[in-house]
Amino acid sequence: MNRNLGLLIASMLIGLAIPALGQQNVPQSDQQALRDFEMQLLTAFNRQDAAGVASLFTEDALRVTPQGIIRGREAIEKDMDRRFQSHFHDLSSTITIFRVFGNSIWEAGEWSMLIGDRPIRGYFSATLVREGDKYKIRDETLNVVPPASGQQPANK
């Protein structure tokens, strides 16, 4: 029994340490730039500002969503506008891990939001690249976690 408890505790400690591995030796300025970028994204989304969200993507950005692949900033803006008309709101996200590679950042984490009054959540990964003194999303992949049993799935 003590051996099993020891294995459980060791597994939990390893699990807690894994997200921190991506942050090792990351300059404070990059960590702050990432926090600032995420705040800009959440603010634009929660204002339902499709142009503002799209401006945070590179011109040739790529989004992979459960509904399909969206190519380019202009198409991303149109898609975001359509989503806002479908009552997407109250986005929040948590970056679980990120890694800096030269002038780019790879990040992954969890997101949640409401579609109308129904909660929906999932996971994401994204690559951000530096353009001038700012970061922009070059590619992003999202998934949706199926609702718990007894809940209605969200409209797409």
DSSP annotation of 80 reads: H
Q: CA angle, corner 105, sides to 99 and 38, nearest 5? A: 105
Task: Look at residue 20 in the predicted model and tell me its pLDDT.
Answer: 41
Say what the pTM is. 0.77
**Domain assignment of residue 92, given as a range:** 24-142
Answer whether residue 75 is part of any domain: yes
Answer whether residue 15 is part of any domain: no
**Residue 88 near residue 111 (C-beta atoms within 8 A):** no
pLDDT in tens, 30-54: 788 888 999 999 999 999 999 999 9
Answer whether residue 85 is part of any domain: yes
Can you tell me the mean pLDDT for 67-73?
A: 97
Q: Cβ–Cβ contacts within 10 Å for residue 59, how many?
A: 10
Amino acid at 24: Q
Task: Look at residue 150 in the predicted model and tell me its pLDDT.
Answer: 61
> At residue 129, does pLDDT exceed 80?
yes
Answer whether residue 81 is part of any domain: yes
Q: CA angle, corner 92, sides to 87 and 97, nearest 5? A: 140
CATH number (domain holding residue 129):
3.10.450.50
Task: Look at residue 14 in the predicted model and tell me its pLDDT.
Answer: 38
CB neighbours of 92 closer than 8 A, spacing ≥ 6? 42, 111, 112, 113
Residue 116, phi-psi category: left (phi > 0), alpha (psi -120 to 50), beta (remainder): left
Answer whether residue 131 is part of any domain: yes
Q: CA angle, corner 89, sides to 117 and 68, nearest 5? A: 100
pLDDT band at 141 (very low <50, low <70, confident <90, very high): very high
> 64-82: b or e for each residue (b if 16 or more CB lie within 10 Å)?
ebeeeebebbebbbebbbe
Answer whether residue 110 is part of any domain: yes
Sign, Cα dihedral of 82, 53, 65, 39:
negative
Answer whether residue 132 is part of any domain: yes
Answer whether residue 14 is part of any domain: no
Q: How far is CA 36 from CA 100, 118, 136, 142, in A?
A: 15, 28, 12, 21
- The mean-pLDDT minimum among 16-25, 88-97, 142-151 falls in 16-25
How many structural domains is the chain composed of? 1
Q: Measure the CA–CA gap between 2 and 7, rounded to whole angstroms.
A: 9
pLDDT in tens, 93-125: 999 998 888 889 999 999 999 999 999 999 999
